[in-house]
Amino acid sequence: MMTDTATVIKTPLYKRPRCLTDEVTHYCSGCGHGIMHRMLAELIDELDIREKTIGIAPVGCAVLAYNYIDIDWSEAAHGRPPAVATGIKRVQPDKIVFTYQGDGDLASIGMAETIHAANRGENITIIFINNGIYAMTQGQMAPTTLAGQVTTTTPRGRSVEEEGPPIKVCELLQGFERVRLLARTAVNSPENVRKTRKLLKKALMYQIEGTGFSLIEVLSACPTYWRKTPQDCSDFIENVMSATFPLRVFKDTGKGLP
């Protein structure tokens, strides 16, 4: 069958989500942050929660996330988004509150805030971008840096004897009674992007339902400080990173949601 180009243009399948501003992002090409921003914006549109959603941006490459998604936003000091989210959600339980954090932010300087928000079972959603590196500060070791991985502060590769092995946040939080949904996904392939989208939607829906803390960990590429091409980054996530950080749902105590 012939496709009528004019019709295709009139009804585009792929539009800018209402929530995504038309600001040009400062992310490098091939960076996972851009994919996650778009996904989040799409979901906020789809769930029709733009007018009651409050995001908390981290200190890290996503520090300016508030310029790209058209909702109310708060900044937070490095590592403190779960505490700021707790303050916001506790006084506005009817709002949808999420944090968007890197691995340095969430699992190093902000580990205490992460663990205690999870333990309290704050009814918030945490989007945890694991790129295995401190990107914004030019590529130092993160708590999630792989064993042997070279960074500016592990020039001979991360030594498990000296620096310890990478911290696995999902495995760590798995035993927390009040955690509702805990999953590790990736955005290195269309299939994984679709899976991530599904899980993130679920997490937001659980929050809308009012029933609990969710954390979605997303393995995400940093071509710039991994010093790899975007394609090599995708392969690295597929073949190397996900060996240390297996992609799976660690906990889902919900029922009935898609």
Partner 1 sequence: MTENKGKILFSGNEAAAEAAIRAGCKFYAGYPITPQNELIAYMADQLPLRDGVFVQAESELAAINMVFGAAASGVRTMTSSSSPGISLKQEGISYIAGSELPAVIINVQRGGPGLGGIGSAQGDYFQSTRSGGHGDYRCMVLAPATAQEMADMTFLAFDLADMYRMPVIVLSDAVTGQMMEGICFDDMEEPKKWSKPWALTGATGRERNIVHSFHLDQEELENFNKKLQAKYEAIKQKECRFETAGGDAPEYVMVAFGSCARTLKQIVTDPPEELKGKLGLFRPITLWPFPGEALAQYAASAKGVLTVEMNAGQMVEDVRLTVNGKIPVHLMPHPGGGIPVEARIRKKLTSLFCDDPPKQ
Contact residues: partner 1, CB under 8 A = 50-54, 56-57, 63-64, 66, 70-77, 80, 83-92, 95, 112-113, 115-116
Backbone angles phi, psi at 213, to 5 degrees: -75, 125
In sign, the C-alpha dihedral spanning 250, 176, 57, 85 is positive
How many chain residues touch ligand SF4 (CB under 6 A)? 11
Among ligand SF4, partner 1, ligand TPP, none, residue 223 binds (CB under 5-8 Å by kind):
ligand SF4
Q: Are 215 and 128 in contact (CB under 8 A)?
A: yes
Strand (E) positions, 107-224? 125-130, 133-134, 140-141, 179-186, 213-219
Q: From the CB of 239, what's the least distance to partner 1, in Å?
A: 36
Residues 34-73 that bind ligand SF4 (CB under 6 A): 61
Q: From the CB of 57, what's the least distance to ligand TPP, in Å?
A: 11
Q: Strand pairing of 133-134 and 140-141?
A: antiparallel
Burial of 126 (0-12, 13-18, 19+ CB in 10 A): buried
Distance CA 235, CA 240 (A): 8
* Site for ligand TPP contains 105 (CB under 6 A): yes
* Site for ligand TPP contains 141 (CB under 6 A): no
Residues 224-253 that bind ligand SF4 (CB under 6 A): 224-225
Compare residues 65 and 126 and give the one whose CB is closer to ligand SF4.
Answer: 65
Instruction: Residue 49: name the closest of 57, 40, 58 by CA.
Output: 40
Applying CB under 6 A, the residues found at the interface with ligand SF4 are 27-28, 31, 33, 61, 131, 135, 222-225
Applying CB under 6 A, the residues found at the interface with ligand TPP are 59-62, 78, 102-105, 129, 131, 133-137, 142
